[in-house]
Amino acid sequence: MSLNIVEKILKEHLVHGELEKQKTIGIKINQTLTQDATGTMTYLEFEALKLETVETELSVSYVDHNTLQEGFENADDHLYLQSIARKYGILYSKAGNGICHQVHLERFGMPGKTLLGSDSHTPTAGGIGMLGIGAGGLDVALAMAGEPFYLIYPKIMRINLIGRLPSWVCAKDIILKILQILTTKGNVSWAIEYGGDGILDLDVPERSTITNMGAELGVTSSIFPSDERTLEFLKAQGREEDFIELKPDLGAEYDKVIDIDLSKLEPLAAAPHSPDNIVPVKDLRDIDVNQVCIGSCTNSSFKDLMKVAYILKDRKVNPGVSLVISPGSRQVFINLLKYNAVETFLKAGARIGESVCGFCIGSGMAPGTDGVSLRTINRNFEGRSGTRSARVYLVSPEVAACSAVTGRITDPGEFGLSYPQIQMPDKFFTDDSMILMPEDISERKKVTIYRGPNIGNPPENYPLPAQFKAEVSIKLGDKITTDHIMPAGSRLKYRSNIEKYSQFVFESIDPEFYKRCLKNKKDNVANIIVAGESYGQGSSREHAAICPMFLGVKAVIVKSIERIHAGNLINFGILPLKFENAEDYEKLKKADILNFENLKEALIHEKPLKIHNKTQDYYFNALYDLTSRQINIILAGGMLNLIAEGSF
C-alpha cells in the first residue's frame, strides 16, 4: 500500500493502538530535547520516576531561554540541569552553544526518527525529515523513561510547493502564506507533509523555517522528505552516516491537499498581534521602524545571516533603528566569523546578541513605548516582546535587514540590490566542545544533583473528588495564549519554584487572580477558568497547567482548546471541558458558583458533564474529549499521582 512520510514514521514507531485516524496511538520516541525554561520541571518530574538512566537513543538538555541571569536563579537552574544530565545519561548543551532547535538540527536530527521536545517549536526538526513533536515536560520525562508518547493519530495534509520563488522571496514568506491560508485556528490534530518540485530549491535550514512555524498553525508536526538536499546538509555537518532517504510512495493518500505556486509569492509580514495577520510587505512600506531583531529558531541559520550580511555590506543601520542580530548557534556564529559577516554587522552598526532565544521569548530587547519592531521570529502576540504597546511584525531576514538600513518597512525588491545566491558551505566548521557528555554509566551514582534555593519540588495534587463546589474565578475571551496564562520574560526565572511562579498566572489580564484562587483553595472551593476559542494556543509551556493546578484550578470550560495545552492540563489533573452550547459561554458570569455533581460517574461512563450554576440556578452541559487513559490520569489528580500509585 502507498504510504506518505508521516504514516511511514508512525507505522515504524507504533507501540500502542492502531493507525486509525483520530484515534489515540502510542509511539516510540527515539530522541528527546528540553530547553531550560521547561527543562527544570521536566527533570524534576523525571527524578520522580526514580530511574537510573534515560532509555532513549539520545536525550539532550539545552540552555537557551533564561540566560540573562539577573539574579542567582537562572544560574542555579543551569547547574541543576547540568548535574541532572551528568547523572542520567543526557547530553548537556551549555548556555551559549545555541538555540535548541538550531543545534539539534545541526548535530543530532536524523531523518525517519522521532523527536519529542518540551518546546512547541520542536517540529523544526521536520526540515531534516524527522518527526518532531512538541509536548509538555511530563510527556518528555516519560519518553526519557522509555514510555511511549501518546497522541491522536493526525489527519495528514499535503502541501505541494510548486515552481520557483521569485527573487527576495524566501522560506519565511512561504510559511507566512500558509498561515494566511490556514490561520492559527482549526489545525489541531493535523500533520503537514511538504512536497512538490519547489522543495528542491530549499535547503534543510530553509525547510526548517517552514516546519518551525507549523507550531503557529497549531499542527502536531510538519515534515519534509529526506532527499538529496538533506544529504547535502548532513554531509556539511560531517554526519552523512545519519542519512536515510525518506519519501512518500507515489499515490499515497492525504486528508487534504493544498498547492502553493511559489512563483506567485511576494515578501510578506505578519502584522500585530497574530502570526496569521498576513500583509504584503509592500503594503506596509513607509511605516517607520524603531527596532529590528534578527535571530530565533525560525530564522538564524548561516544562510539567513549571510543574506543579512550581503544587504548590510558597506551600509549603515538607520540612525532611528536599533538592529540586533543573534546567530542561532555557536556553529552559525563561528562560520559567520570565518566569512567576515560579523565584521560587516559591526561596521554597519548592529548589536550582536548571544546565540539564545532572547528577544524571541521576551527576554531582553523590549521595544520602546509604541515601538515598531521587525523581527524574524515566529510569534508576535501582544506584549510578548516585553512592551505592551509595541507593534511587532514578523518578517524574513531580507525584509528585516533592508528595513534596518532604510528605517522604514521595506520590500527588499525595491532596495536596489540584486538577489544574492548564497550557498551553504560544503563543510561547516563544527565543534561540539560545549556539548557536555554524561558521566560514564558506572560513575553516575556518585553524581550529586545541585539544587539552588529556587528549585522546588513538583507541586502536589489530590485525586479528583466525586463532586465539588467551584467558582468561576476568571472569564476570558478568544485566543488566550500560554503567554497570557503564564507570562515568561522576567517572571520566567521563578519557573522552578511553583509557589512563587503561581502568583503571576494571568498577570497581564487580572493580577488579583491568584489571590482569589488561593482563598478559594483554602476554603475548599475549586477554581474554574472560562474562555472562548483557541484557549491555550502558543507554546507547550507546562507551567500554564502546573501553576493553575497549584492554585486549585480543577477545570477550564472553553469553546475550543489547543492540543498541547489540553494535554498539559490533563497531565496535571485539570479537566479540559468544552461548552456543549456556545450560548452557555455568554450566560456564565465571573464569580458564579458551580456545582460539579456525580463527576466521577459521568467520566467513567464517558457521559457529558451536567454542571449546576448555583448562582443563576440552571444546568448546562460540558463535553470532553478524553481517552480512558486520560480519564484515569484526571481521576488520579494528574500523571505524577498515577505514577506514584504505581498503576501506570
Partner 1 sequence: MISFQKVTIPADGEKIEVKDEKLIVPDFPIVLFIEGDGIGPDIWKASKEIFNEAVKVVFSDKKKVKWTEIFAGEKALKNYGEGNLLPDETIEAIKNFKVAIKGPLTTPVGKGFRSLNVTLRQKLDLYACIRPCRWLKGTPSPVKAPEKLDVIVFRENTEDVYAGIEWHYNSEEVKELKKFLKEKYNVLLGPETGIGIKPISRFCSRRLVRKALKYALTHNKGKITLVHKGNIMKYTEGAFREWGYELAGEELQGRLILEEELNAKYDGKIPEGRILINDRIADSMFQQILLRPDEYDILATTNLNGDYLSDACAAQVGGLGMAPGANISDDIFIFEATHGTAPKYANLNKVNPGSLILSGVMMFQYMGWNEVADIIYKSLEDTVQEKTVTYDLARMIEGAKEVSTCEFAGNIIKNIKRRAG
- Tell me the three state secondary structure of residue 623: strand
For the chain, the C-alpha Rg in angstroms (whole number) is 24
Residue span binding partner 1 (CB under 8 A) among the ranges 83-91, 195-203, 454-462, 610-618: 195-203
- Tell me the three state secondary structure of residue 611: strand
Nearest Cα to 206, choosing from 239, 165, 243?
A: 165
**Closest distance of CB 474 from partner 1, Å:** 43
Phi-psi region of 612 (alpha: psi -120 to 50; beta: other; left: phi over 0): beta
Q: Which is nearer to partner 1, 138 or 161 (CB)?
A: 161
Our finding on whether 196 is near partner 1 (CB under 8 A) is yes
**φ, ψ (nearest 5 deg) of residue 526:** -75, 155
**Closest distance of CB 29 from partner 1, Å:** 27
**Closest distance of CB 5 from partner 1, Å:** 10
In whole angstroms, give the CA distance from residue 80 to residue 363: 21
Our finding on whether 162 is near partner 1 (CB under 8 A) is yes
**Closest distance of CB 242 from partner 1, Å:** 25
Contacts of 147 (CB under 8 A, 6+ apart): none
- Contact present, 3 and 193 (Cβ < 8 Å): no
- Contact present, 208 and 329 (Cβ < 8 Å): no
Q: Which is nearer to partner 1, 158 or 563 (CB)?
A: 158
Residue span binding partner 1 (CB under 8 A) among the ranges 84-92, 157-165, 407-415, 605-613: 157-165
Our finding on whether 465 is near partner 1 (CB under 8 A) is no
**Closest distance of CB 562 from partner 1, Å:** 26
Instruction: State the Cα angle at 620 between 614 and 626, rounded to 5°.
Output: 120
Residue span binding partner 1 (CB under 8 A) among the ranges 112-120, 130-138, 154-162, 174-182: 154-162
Largest CA distance in the chain: 72
**Closest distance of CB 4 from partner 1, Å:** 8
Q: Which is nearer to partner 1, 139 or 193 (CB)?
A: 193
Q: Which is nearer to partner 1, 197 or 228 (CB)?
A: 197
Grid coordinates standing for 575?
479537566
Our finding on whether 1 is near partner 1 (CB under 8 A) is yes
Q: Which is nearer to partner 1, 155 or 554 (CB)?
A: 155
CB atoms within 10 A of CB 259: 11
Q: Which is nearer to partner 1, 220 or 481 (CB)?
A: 220
Residue span binding partner 1 (CB under 8 A) among the ranges 104-112, 245-253, 324-332, 458-466: 245-253
**φ, ψ (nearest 5 deg) of residue 156:** -120, 125
Residues 101-140: x/- map of binding to partner 1 (CB under 8 A)? ----------------------------------------
Residue span binding partner 1 (CB under 8 A) among the ranges 156-164, 207-215, 442-450, 452-460: 156-164
**Closest distance of CB 209 from partner 1, Å:** 21
Q: Which is nearer to partner 1, 256 or 316 (CB)?
A: 256
Nearest Cα to 378, choosing from 193, 584, 124, 189?
A: 124
Of residues 195, 275, 538, 638, which one binds partner 1 by CB under 8 A?
195
Nearest Cα to 196, choosing from 181, 216, 210?
A: 210
Q: Which is nearer to partner 1, 265 or 390 (CB)?
A: 265
- Contact present, 133 and 122 (Cβ < 8 Å): yes
**Closest distance of CB 324 from partner 1, Å:** 39
**Closest distance of CB 511 from partner 1, Å:** 49
Of residues 2, 340, 389, 457, which one binds partner 1 by CB under 8 A?
2
**Closest distance of CB 279 from partner 1, Å:** 24
Question: Among all chains, which residue has been given the C-alpha cell 543573534?
Answer: 326
- Tell me the three state secondary structure of residue 501: helix
Of residues 83, 160, 496, 630, which one binds partner 1 by CB under 8 A?
160
Pairing of the two strands 149-152 and 24-27: antiparallel
Our finding on whether 166 is near partner 1 (CB under 8 A) is no
Provide the sign of the torsion angle of the four alpha carbons 271, 275, 281, 283, taken in this order.
negative
**Closest distance of CB 161 from partner 1, Å:** 10
Nearest Cα to 156, choosing from 1, 7, 8?
A: 7
Nearest Cα to 226, choosing from 156, 159, 108, 131?
A: 131
Nearest Cα to 308, choosing from 270, 275, 350?
A: 350
What H or E segment, with its residue span, contains residue 103?
Answer: helix 100-107
- For the segment 53-82, give every residue that binds partner 1 (CB under 8 A): none
Q: Which is nearer to partner 1, 195 or 413 (CB)?
A: 195
Residue span binding partner 1 (CB under 8 A) among the ranges 155-163, 440-448, 604-612, 630-638: 155-163
| DSSP state string for 592-604 | -EEEE-SHHHHHH
- For the segment 249-288, give every residue that binds partner 1 (CB under 8 A): 250-254, 256-257
In whole angstroms, give the CA distance from residue 406 to residue 392: 17
How many binding residues for partner 1 (CB under 8 A)? Answer: 16
Q: Residue numbers of the site for partner 1 (CB under 8 A)?
A: 1-2, 158, 160, 162, 195-197, 248, 250-254, 256-257
